[in-house]
Structure 1
Amino acid sequence: MRTPARLPLDEQLTALRTVLSRNEVLLEVLHRTATLELPGWYLTAGCLFQTVWNVVTDRPPQAGIKDYDLFYFDDTDLSWDAEDAVIRTGREVFDGLPAEVEIRNEARVHLWYEEKFGVPCAPYASTEAAIDSFAATTCCLGVRLEPDDRWRVYAPHGLSDVFGLVVRPNPVLAPRAVYEAKAARWRAQWPGLTVLEWPSGGGGEGGDGGGAGAAGRSAAG
């Protein structure tokens, strides 16, 4: 039987839903988030690809997942008060879950990113654009539930690396040091990972950013 990494993309999408559905917390977060009706929202980053890694390596689906990153995009009100109101509502909606859900409005990232990390971040045009700037292409994955309960998957680099346990650098915003620190941490937990080296002459050598509106921590898990 072929591994999911070698399946055609349409079959990989089916496999992704099957694998992610084994994480009961993740499913509950998806369903509760749908009730918030946030614009352009995705559950993204570590909770997704780490669930896949756990299942592929025969571990409990939730093992090692610290939090669940929820991105949305609302450029109609860029105030902190508006974002904080969503975060506070989220605390009520996700109350009782055995996991922390981190909610961030990706339309606001450029307002605080440079002050916090020392490198500028151009305004994102969408949640998808924010996901595009994670430190590793393997992290560039988002899932949400549409009103008809259909799964919407954003995977600009495909799914083969995710299923194949390959970590590939994405020198767009986050610097090399961030990528290497994340990769080292992941490899310590999933020793079977193949970590590809940062490209020589690649961008993102300076700064201390986390990529994709990481909200002051590692949004990619």
Structure 2
Amino acid sequence: MEQQLIKLIKAVPELMDTAKECNKINLPNYYVAGGAITQLIWNDLLGRKPLDQVKDFDIVYFDTTSCKSEQWYERNIASRLKHDIAIDVKNQARVHEWYPRKFGQVIPPYDRVEQGISSWLSAFAIGFRLNTLGEPEIYSTSGLADAFQMKVKPNKIAMTEASYLKMTQSFKERWPSISVEPWDSAC
């Protein structure tokens, strides 16, 4: 599955260009991650265009020392891109500061970017970045099976039931054939 995902990513110039620009501006400890990667897989499985229904590209990074803000990185990356897909840049070192307001759940500070990715729904806990040779490297907390099986499961550690229901309703509207496990199915 990992090689299949790498092949899919390499076939989407917008994803590759986005990661290249992250490298060029030295975005620390970054991944292009989350929804766009999962939705790329789902679109391929359904025979759709690679970026059909993809709202934006999530870019996560980790930096506790920089004076550069998320907005600074977002503006600089976006200004270099030749595509018009929105990007959403988030410093995982700061997520604990705003997460309770947005999702109603208190989370501890993360020690590294991968902890942020690991807190997402298993089908979305996937990211990639480019290595020194310009090749995609995949990070996936829970493996790729849930994404490739189009299965969404709750994550009670990092979200509320209301957040999960809102999120999964949006996914079902755009990808009706996905399987969504009920909130009560998870520990």
Question: Do they superpose with TM above 0.5?
Answer: yes
Question: Which consecutive residues of structure 1, in runs of 5 or more, have no partner in the other structure?
Answer: 1-11, 203-221
Paired AA for residue 92 in structure 1: S
What is the aligned counterpart of 2:93 among 104, 107, 110?
A: 107
The Cα of 1:116 is off from its aligned counterpart by 4.6
1:179 counterpart = 2:168: no
1:129 counterpart = 2:111: no
TM-score, length of structure 2 as denominator length: 0.90
Question: Which consecutive residues of structure 2, in runs of 5 or more, have no partner in the other structure?
Answer: none
- The superposition leaves residues 134-188 of structure 1 with CA deviations (integer Å, 9 ceiling, x where unpaired) of 2x21111111001222322111111111111111112211111111221122112
User: What is the identity percentage for the equivalent residue pairs of Structure 1 and Structure 2?
Assistant: 28
Residues 67 and 201 (structure 1 numbering): CA distance in 2 closer, same or farther, change over 3 Å? Answer: closer
Structure possessing the higher radius of gyration over alpha carbons: 1
1:97 counterpart = 2:83: yes
- The corresponding residue for 1:21 is 10
Are the aligned partners of 2:105 and 2:159 in contact in 1 as well (CA < 8 Å)?
no
The Cα of 1:66 is off from its aligned counterpart by 0.7
Are the aligned partners of 2:156 and 2:186 in contact in 1 as well (CA < 8 Å)?
no
- The corresponding residue for 2:39 is 50
Equivalent residues, number: 187
- The corresponding residue for 2:135 is 150
Paired AA for residue 129 in structure 2: R
The CA RMSD measured in Å over matched residues stands at 1.9
Paired AA for residue 71 in structure 2: D
Are the aligned partners of 1:34 and 1:147 in contact in 2 as well (CA < 8 Å)?
no
TM-score, length of structure 1 as denominator length: 0.77
